[in-house]
Amino acid sequence: MSGEGCSDQLYCREGSSFYTAIDSDIRGSGPADRDPGRGLCPDVRTLDSLASRHCALCELEQAVMKKNLITILDLSVEEIDILLARASLLKEQWKKGELKPTLAGKTLGLLFDKPSTRTRVSFEVAMYQLGGQVVFMSSKETQLSRDESLQDTALVLSRYIDGLVVRTHTDDNLQELARHAEIPVINGLTDLYHPCQVLGDILTIREKKSDLRALHVAWVGDGNNVAHSWINAAARLDFRLSLACPAGYEPKKEILQRGQELAGDRIHFGHDPVQAVRNADVINTDVWTSMGQEEERQERLAAFQNYQINADLVREAKSEVIVMHCLPAHRGEEITDEVMDGPNSAIFDQAENRLHLQRALLDWLLGG
């Protein structure tokens, strides 16, 4: 089905609509029984009508026009399902060498304050694979370093590029850029949240465990930005989340409280890592000392000693548990070599899926 005449290629792009993904991944229908027009308005199933009319979904998307991803709570359950289905579909196309240049002529900006390996490379590669271009900007090499306002920066960049990924320290800076930008803004990491990481992790869990909503996910370690995004994910999706953090290193109270208000007793917080991982389907961790916390390193090493992901702790979970780490890892600190390289590890599949999730995200937000 052609998308000619339809301004929203998210739903109507030939051969790659989100509803193809929904049919196969969410509804479970296969090619043999799929109605090519399913998901579209009944009278929008021919090339002639497509040339003259918009489907209701396209009109809805047009009304929104600009959408940001600042936290996972910016997404509805349906949007998360669609995004994951799209990521899976594009991953299959990538494996077969069948990706289409759906973002040809588009340019993505990366505005980074912090060092990056996975976030930068996965966004750049995803954009190139979809036919687009990338402009990387270190904030210290822009006029932001000479006190140009975030508002003016956002307004100017909106005239040059089609979307902006921001990796910065304070969430306030990201929010200010998003407020004034006329293009989609994506959170590539702040000190408060890391939504793309957790969405990619959910894709990995879905591949290995099927329905996330029936699972018990454990977080062991620092109550940091990734933990905050897991709390938001549990608030949005129906899975059980147990967090164990040392005293003084808990998630922010307001984020945990909001998550528990939304999720009820599905989110549990404590200080005992054994209790958190007992009968877990997934164990998640992160470094004990994040970027900008280097001066706290020795203090943190002492505080986190009982929170290492090692073979003894993994044995408290289900035998088929998968172990995840958002990387970079400090082997021998928060996780042992035995676990990281062992049969339960999904860590490098997890890292790869950042590419596939973000490819789908870009296709959605920039692909109109």
CATH label of the domain that carries residue 259: 3.40.50.1370
Give pLDDT tens digits for 161-186: 999 999 999 999 999 999 999 999 99
**Token pair 């998307």: residue:** 61
Q: Which of 286, 308, 350, 363 is catalytic?
A: 286
The tokens describing 115, both together, are 């060092």
Q: Domain boundary residue among 65, 86, 101?
A: 65
Please indicate whether residue 326 is annotated as part of the active site: yes
Please indicate whether residue 245 is annotated as part of the active site: no
249 occurs within a structural domain = yes
25 occurs within a structural domain = yes
The alpha-helical segments, DSSP class H, found in 37-137 are 47-52, 56-64, 77-96, 118-129
How many helices (H) and strands (E) the chain has is answered by 16, 9
Q: Which of 54, 86, 118, 194 is catalytic?
A: 194
139 occurs within a structural domain = no
pLDDT at 268: 98
Residues spanned by the domain of 211: 207-290+300-347
Please indicate whether residue 13 is annotated as part of the active site: no
- Taking residues 51-76, what's their average pLDDT? 65
Q: Is the dihedral of CA 55, 60, 63, 68 positive or negative?
A: negative
**Residue 294's pLDDT band (cuts 50, 70, 90):** confident
Output the CA–CA distances (angstroms, integers) from residue 101 to 19, 21, 90, 98, 356, in the order listed. Answer: 19, 18, 12, 10, 15
Burial of 252 (0-12, 13-18, 19+ CB in 10 A): middle
Q: Which of 228, 326, 350, 359 is catalytic?
A: 326
Q: Which of 54, 118, 167, 228 is catalytic?
A: 167
pLDDT at 193: 98
Strand partners, 243: 219, 269
For the cut 90, the answer to whether the pLDDT of residue 25 exceeds it is: no
Please indicate whether residue 196 is annotated as part of the active site: no
Number of structural domains (the chain) is 2
**Residue 368's pLDDT band (cuts 50, 70, 90):** low
**Residue 291's pLDDT band (cuts 50, 70, 90):** confident
Please indicate whether residue 268 is annotated as part of the active site: no
Distance between CA atoms of residues 173 and 20, nearest Å: 37
- What phi, psi does 360 have (nearest 5°)? -65, -40
For the cut 80, the answer to whether the pLDDT of residue 160 exceeds it is: yes
Q: Domain boundary residue among 31, 48, 65?
A: 65
109 occurs within a structural domain = no
Distance between CA atoms of residues 135 and 156, nearest Å: 14
Q: Around Cβ 226, how many Cβ atoms within 10 Å?
A: 25
pLDDT at 65: 57
pLDDT at 66: 76
Percentages helix, strand, coil for the chain (3-state, rounded to 5) are 50, 15, 40
For the cut 70, the answer to whether the pLDDT of residue 269 exceeds it is: yes
263 occurs within a structural domain = yes
Give pLDDT tens digits for 99-119: 999 999 999 999 999 999 999
List, in sequence order, every beta strand (DSSP E) within the chain. Answer: 107-112, 133-138, 163-167, 185-189, 216-220, 240-244, 267-270, 282-285, 322-325
Q: Is 147 left (phi over 0), alpha (psi -120 to 50) or beta?
A: left
Q: Domain boundary residue among 12, 34, 65?
A: 65
Give pLDDT tens digits for 298-349: 999 999 999 999 999 999 999 999 999 999 999 999 999 999 999 999 999 9
pLDDT at 26: 38
Contact in structure between 106 and 128 (CB atoms under 8 Å): no
Distance between CA atoms of residues 109 and 158, nearest Å: 10
Q: Which of 175, 197, 260, 358 is catalytic?
A: 197
Q: Which of 54, 86, 236, 354 is catalytic?
A: 354
Give pLDDT tens digits for 329-338: 999 999 999 9
Give pLDDT tens digits for 70-86: 999 999 999 999 999 99
For the cut 60, the answer to whether the pLDDT of residue 34 exceeds it is: no
Please indicate whether residue 330 is annotated as part of the active site: no
For the cut 70, the answer to whether the pLDDT of residue 32 exceeds it is: no
pLDDT at 5: 37
Output the CA–CA distances (angstroms, integers) from residue 264 to 47, 81, 91, 256, 284, in the order listed. Answer: 48, 22, 34, 11, 21
Which of 277, 269, 274, 266 is closest to 318 using CA atoms? 277
Contact in structure between 10 and 61 (CB atoms under 8 Å): yes
- Taking residues 285-296, what's their average pLDDT? 88
**Residue 43's pLDDT band (cuts 50, 70, 90):** very low
Angle formed by the axes of helices 195-209 and 225-236, to 10°? 60
Give pLDDT tens digits for 214-257: 899 999 999 999 999 999 999 999 999 999 999 999 999 999 99
